[in-house]
Amino acid sequence: MDEKKGSVPPKRPVPISGHREPPSRRMPPAADRPKRPDMRSQTVRNGATRAPNHSVIAEDFHKRLRGKPTHAAVSHSWLGGLGGTIAVFLKLFFVIFLLIVFIVGGFGGGMLVGYIATAKPLSLEKLKASDKTETSFVYDINGTEIAKLTGSENIDRIFVPYGEVKGTYIDEAITSIEDERFYEHNGIDLQRIGSAILSALANGGTASHGGSTITQQTVKMISGQDQVSAQRKVQEWYLAMALEQKLSKDEIMEYYVNLAPMGNNYVGIQAAAQNYFGKDAKDLTLPECAFLAGIPKSPSYYNPLRESGRRNAMRRMRVVLQKMHELGKITDQQYTDALNTELVFKSAKTTTSTTVKSYFVEYAVDEVIADLQKERNLSLSMAETAVFTGGYKIYTTLEPNVQAALDSTFQTQSLFQADPAAIEDFPEKPQGGMVVINVATGAIAGMQGGYGEKTTSWGWNRAVDIARQPGSSIKPLIDYAPAFETKILVPTDQLLDKLMPLDDSKPGVMWPKDSDTPTDGLLTIRQSVVKSKNIVAVQVWKELGAQTALFFLSQVGIDRTTEAYPSTAIGGFNQGMSPLEMAAAYATFANNGVYRDPYAYTKVLDTNGDVVLEKTVTPHRVYSAETTFLMTNILQDVITGGTAANQVFPIKNTAGDAIDVAGKTGTTDENVDKWFCGFTPYYAASTWYGYDNNLRKTVIPKNDRNDAMKIWNDAMQKIHMDLAAASFSKPDDVVQLTICSQTKQLATDSCKALGYAITDYFIVGDPLTPTTECPGHLTPTPSPGVVPPA
């Protein structure tokens, strides 16, 4: 078939920005231009390969698609159809009424003025910095380049200048099916809205097309606003007309063809052309243009990578071709030839062509995209396109020595698999995730999202994406530190470690249980934390109250305020936690009770050096310095003589000087998850270890149950080797006292002789801090054969 020949209006030249142009134009046909190298394979953004389904049916179905275009419909009863028609008519009538009022009445109506006044102006981020996309660069904390971001590496969305595709039929196909008066209206089309109403009435309440123009759709794709409401619709009309005043028609079309959703996370016609047809958009044929033009109406329904979706898309293509023919944009011969052309879809064989980014770089880029959306009122597609093609300079918080230590640790097999042969037949291999936070700034210094070599980009990042139950590592955050802060407990208070029914919803049921038999009797709070006693933790939680406990948890960045049940006291949540959440929460202890939201970048500059984004974090105090010291001091005992002893070791730098370490272990039921969360005066870090459990729940083998601690210890020892000696600071009003366990007063020699003396830290002036001596004890009269306590 001879493309772009026949009695078709000639293509118009590329317009000068800001000027309108008539519908007729002409550029050299695609067949006359040099071909680009054939791109038969690409890797999608999440690292998985997407390819069309292939089967005898899939390869043969297009041969049976002949005849006139059809429209898929849902079967309705006559009553349901009548009700649906009336409902749609009323809604559309209200929309058209508002539109008429909007146009005829101007901006004077109070409601419309209010709607328009609250409309956020569109931020027209450049889709490109020049005629070609510009590479964005990512830098570490020292300003050293660590990654490049290009459109070609981001196969999900690839910018294409509109001038490159004007020689194809993509614009005729799009305007024919989406907005045939695109070049005549000023952003909204009353005739199209009226046509949509009539179409809905004729089709039982289902319109064959919408009332939105291409300009309106572009507004939605730029802003991401697509709620169904009168306010949003009025704002969309206003912004569409404003957009028409700022941009030429071709500039609007450039936004549309680069932001249109094309199914399977592909955005824009270039990504769709490469992934569906294995070619560049400038080389698309007439039927291929018609095929792609039909997808944005419903990308999931017209998904070409599913057999049913491709069949639907083929029918839609024929509707597009029919409309193009009716409007005189293609000749009779072109229409006939296009209907009988067999489309050749891209082969399922693919090769990896992208540069794999680190877990940290991916997280930092995603954070920039999210902030760009929020601050510039952009859609996700628009923000991603700007970041990947705008020539940005992204300055991150990555500390290279920290990341190097994590990389080394997560490549060490012995830390993840004590006995590889023992798990050889497991459906999955063990995995882990770790995040390190700089205590002084609250910034993310490094992260690892998986064991071994990273082979995919934007895949599963276990440092931030998982939501696993934290086990006992949550206890300092939800039980003990809040109890110290609210002055209901001190470290020397004693609670009974004995089986009892502590879940009010299950009266008579002895819960919770510990991994060991609870025979310790009375335990101090310090002892209970060091031994990780569940029964004591739940008692503290009940004394504190669910809402208070969850409030304090939310204050350290873990909002689970809807989960008000006692199992949360020991880590039993419906929505689990990620290493990032836990690391940031534990950094609060290392930072004297002040919490900061973790962040991965400091600023973003454009090609002119102007600031696009600048990260600002507002810290807030959660605990007093005194509470923080008490909790930290207890967690130091976890390292030296508690559940982490002989697995996490006190740190000594290369000079042999000590650096304080504190932390807490965590284990979930059946040993499915293992955690270690800890900190030094320099860094806070959290490590999760376990299995992804995509295929089945896997219990961690016995000889791997200390691996979370081993991983944490290995990385943190390396990170601190060249740092100076450091210890946790003690506030001046925190003093060490020896008290009597029986009377809670200052211990005397008598108390010590009877074995009632307990030494711990107290806060001067605190109502729970004793100020008077114990009044003494009656010396018990020994019974025969009974030895008095020493």
The dihedrals phi and psi of 95, each to the nearest 5 degrees, come to -65, -45
* pTM for this model (two decimals): 0.73
Q: Is 739 helix (H, G, I), strand (E, B) or coil?
A: strand
Residues 6+ apart with CB under 8 A from 245: none
Q: Is 433 helix (H, G, I), strand (E, B) or coil?
A: strand
Domain range for 277 is 31-118+155-339
Cα–Cα–Cα angle for 493, 496, 502, rounded to 5 degrees: 115
Distances (CA, A) of 77 to 83, 203, 265, 693, 698: 10, 13, 36, 45, 50
CA distance 452 to 175: 49
Contact status, residue 415 vs residue 674, Cβ threshold 8 Å: no
Q: What's the pLDDT tens digit per position in 370-418? A: 999 988 878 787 788 889 878 899 999 999 999 999 999 999 999 999 9
CA distance 398 to 414: 26
pLDDT at res. 82: 55
Q: List the CATH number of the domain containing 54.
A: 1.10.3810.10
Going by their DSSP bridges, the two strands 393-396 and 136-139 should be labelled as: parallel
Please check whether residue 491 lies inside any domain of the structure.
Answer: yes
* Residue indicated by tokens 């089709």: 203
Same domain, 475 and 328: no
Show the tokens assigned to 606. Answer: 């454009």
Please check whether residue 756 lies inside any domain of the structure.
Answer: yes
Sequence-ordered strand ranges (E) for 551-679: 594-595, 601-605, 611-614, 620-621, 651-652, 658-659, 662-667, 673-679
CA distance 492 to 633: 13
Other beta carbons within 10 Å of 229 = 10
Please check whether residue 461 lies inside any domain of the structure.
Answer: no
Where the chain has pLDDT below 50, the residues are 1-76, 80, 106-108, 128-131, 207, 349-353, 781, 783-790
Please check whether residue 207 lies inside any domain of the structure.
Answer: yes
Please check whether residue 606 lies inside any domain of the structure.
Answer: no
Domain count, the chain: 3
SS3 content of the chain, % helix, strand, coil (to 5): 40, 15, 50
Same domain, 333 and 476: no
Q: Looking at the DSSP assignment, which residues form a beta bridge with residue 434?
A: 448, 687
The dihedrals phi and psi of 177, each to the nearest 5 degrees, come to -90, -25
- What are the helix (H) ranges across 158-295? 162-165, 170-178, 190-202, 214-223, 230-246, 249-259, 269-272, 286-293
Please check whether residue 695 lies inside any domain of the structure.
Answer: no
The continuous run of DSSP H or E covering 86 comes out as helix 78-104
Residues 6+ apart with CB under 8 A from 221: 255, 256, 259, 260, 261, 379, 381, 382
Contact status, residue 570 vs residue 475, Cβ threshold 8 Å: yes
pLDDT at res. 26: 34
Q: Is 357 helix (H, G, I), strand (E, B) or coil?
A: coil
Please check whether residue 174 lies inside any domain of the structure.
Answer: yes
Show the tokens assigned to 102. Answer: 């909007």
Residues 6+ apart with CB under 8 A from 598: 435, 437, 442, 443, 444, 557, 580, 583, 584, 587
Instruction: Single out the residue in 542, 573, 604 at which a domain terminates.
Output: 573
pLDDT at res. 39: 31
Cα 767 to chain centroid distance, Å, stands at: 45
Q: List the CATH number of the domain containing 489.
A: 3.40.710.10
Residues 6+ apart with CB under 8 A from 425: none
Q: Looking at the DSSP assignment, which residues form a beta bridge with residue 497?
A: 521
* Nearest one of 361, 360, 399 to 718, comparing CA atoms: 399
Would residue 557 be called left, alpha or beta, if left means φ above 0 and alpha means ψ between -120 and 50 degrees?
left
Instruction: Single out the residue in 321, 339, 357 at which a domain terminates.
Output: 339
Instruction: Single out the residue in 573, 594, 627 at which a domain terminates.
Output: 573
Please check whether residue 603 lies inside any domain of the structure.
Answer: no
